[in-house]
Amino acid sequence: MIWKCAMSLDGKNHQAGGRGQWLSGGESRADVQRLRGEVDAILTSGETVRRDKPALTIRLPELLEGREQPWRVVVTDQPETMPLDAPLFSDEWKGRTLLRGRADMEGTLRGLVREQGVLSVMIEAGGKFSAAMIAAGLVDEAVIYHAPIICGDTVPALLGVESPQSLALTGISRERLGRDLKVRGLIVK
């Protein structure tokens, strides 16, 4: 599983006071479209859907040639609180949106393989959910877009990782995307 995150230089994933929709620049957002083209499913949290109402689709037509949109999997124990006007539940690909509970993530992932043929998954969610997936040992790779911004007093990109050591990456690649720096690597387990 891939964890994708845009973060500021001080490790935050959004600006204080809701300023600006994105931390990363246009080149990074286009690269995320290509990254979505590498996976069969995108995993997010109910909290992210309620807060951001993301579409989680591939929007570059050339990346859709010969393939469908990725499955969009919303992990929540409160499905009744999902905003039905969110793109995930109201756009033309709403049939490719699945709701799953938090209790058994490994079982959820096995079910995606068995029922939807999913072999590759990317997480696009907030720090708490992403940290839980990493702490559970379910994430194999990280793709981090560093934006040249210092956000200050906001929530960190990874909230509450309970690990005996720091998160280390190996096989690292770096790429400048406009004003941002993309770092991609495998998580050392």
* pLDDT tens digits along 18-47: 555 678 999 999 999 999 999 999 999 999
Low-confidence ranges of the chain (pLDDT < 50): 163-164
pLDDT recorded at residue 162? 54
pLDDT recorded at residue 21? 63
Sign of CA dihedral 115, 126, 95, 89: positive
The domain that holds 174 is classified in CATH as 3.40.430.10
**DSSP SS3 for 81:** helix
Pair 37, 67: CB distance under 8 Å = yes
Q: Which residue range(s) make up the domain with 6?
A: 2-187
CA-nearest of 63, 60, 52 to 74 is 52
Tally of domains in the chain? 1
